[in-house]
Amino acid sequence: MAYEEERSPGSVRLQRKITLLNGITIIVGGIIGSGIFISPKAVFMHSGSIGLTLLVWTIAGLGSLVGALCYAELGTTIMKSGGDYAYIKEAWGPMLAFLFLWVNVLVLQPSLLAILALTFADYIVYPFYPDPTCHPPQASLFLTAISCLVVLATVNSMSVRWTTRVQDLFTFAKMSVLAVIIITGLVRLGKGYTDQFENAFDTTPNGNGGGSITIAFYAGFFAYGGWNSLNFLTEEMKDPHRNLPLAIIISLPIVTGVYVMTNVAYFSVMTPQEVLLSKAVAVTFGYKVLGSAAFLIPVGVAWSVFGTINGGFLLGSRLNFVAARDGHLPTLLSMIHVRRNTPIPSLCLSCMLAICYLFINNIEQLLTYFSFVTWGSTAVTISGLLKLRWTKPDLERPLRMNILLIISFLLVCVGLVIMGVVAAPLETTIGICFTLTGIPVYFIVAVKWKNIPKSFKNLIKKVTYFLQKLLLVVKPDEKFCH
């Protein structure tokens, strides 16, 4: 059951402060990270032609819109925050939900935040070392990354309104930089630089001739990841029945249009060979056409990543909060600040884990191990939507998707999981083995916890009480949480 709209004055709770505009910037900011600036060449390399590349970006955007609308049906039916965790728990039970939580909290969330923080540090620090033979000290990168994580965790802890304003600001900032790229490309096209688009579907010399089109679609769908961001915040949205689907309907076409037009701009300036050889396509684009204003591109990448990290804290902390409220994580993580109404313990956990992951070599390899989880959990969630249609037909569904679209998107998810397994079988096996280690942990946490020694329980209570006083946090009023 959702939070009640009417609250007793002065009660401690998560509050409904997320507006429609905030929802749009959360989705757009969650999808658009550094990828569109740095390496859109993956889709081009595997599609083999400019025309097919633009088609892949368009189809992946439309497919993502279908998936997001499926989640909108779930979000307006199951009025709980937590996204996939809440939906899997409702449809398939607590154990599968715990396995999703196990991988996300321990690996995916913190490692992704750490990678983004290091990317932010790269684009902030490297301009101070213009000599290509001179690299910044590793310590400066780590300190910048840590500072980024601590600042954004603090902002999230201070106020939900501050957090959404930061998200709004940096989403508009990254969109402004992308607008500069797109407008520059359109001007180039208007001046007649259209050679790259003649015979656009002909295979380029360095392309793969369409032989890897499935991998191109995999890369395209990956670039749209984050379209389910708002579902993690349902309980904090104003009028979620209206604003959740409306934010999705507005956001996904915007992102699709931006992605397609940004790629058009790149090809209006760069040859296919330059795109394939570039390590950061947008930066190469800037140096070729923006002259003294080229610095805007690396600044734009830094802004984009900063906003994405902010959104990562916002979503990850709510997942921890909801899971702790359900008894799957320590009780302390379900507590919020008595005045600020923010889940400070959950934010502290996310920040500390992300900082720890900064010092792990080859963090990207961890994401490879667990790449199957993203689309695997999406497939489980969408299949849960079909199950709920069958087992609970009387649930109130303000939004009801066409069942053929749901099945089609489920097949896409299954196909993407299979592609990930085929592309990296060893890494996927390692990831699956780690995921399965969550099963005994689940039984310890959910089944055997009541039988642990009383002395150990008392110790945990004392530690929890101490941290409560230190952080000024309490459990929300129960009548508003269940």
Mean pLDDT of 446-460: 74
**DSSP string covering 70-126:** HHHHHHHHS--SSTHHHHHHHHH-HHHHHHHHHHIIIIIHHHHHHHHHHHHHHHHHG
State yes or no: pLDDT of 239 exceeds 80: yes
Please check whether residue 57 is in contact with residue 256, taking contact to mean a CB–CB distance below 8 angstroms.
yes
Mean residue pLDDT across the chain: 87
Convert the pLDDT of each residue in 346-357 to its tens digit.
999 999 999 999
| 193 vs 179: CA distance, rounded Å | 19
SS (HEC) of 218-231? HHHHHHCCCCCHHH
State yes or no: pLDDT of 450 exceeds 70: no
Please check whether residue 376 is in contact with residue 92, taking contact to mean a CB–CB distance below 8 angstroms.
no
State yes or no: pLDDT of 296 exceeds 90: no
Output the pLDDT for position 51: 92
Tokens in use for 137? 């000290």
For the chain, percent of residues with pLDDT exceeding 70: 93
| 109 vs 119: CA distance, rounded Å | 16
* Predicted structure pTM score: 0.89
The domains of the chain, with CATH numbers, are 20-480 (1.20.1740.10)
C-beta neighbour count of 350 within 10 angstroms: 28
Mean pLDDT of 219-228: 89
| 311 vs 113: CA distance, rounded Å | 10
DSSP code of residue 337: E
Secondary structure of residue 336 in the 3-state scheme: strand
**Helical segments of 270-391, H only:** 272-277, 281-289, 296-325, 344-357, 363-369, 371-391
State yes or no: pLDDT of 323 exceeds 90: yes
Higher-pLDDT residue of 211 and 292 is 292
Handedness of CA 293, 24, 317, 367 (dihedral sign): negative
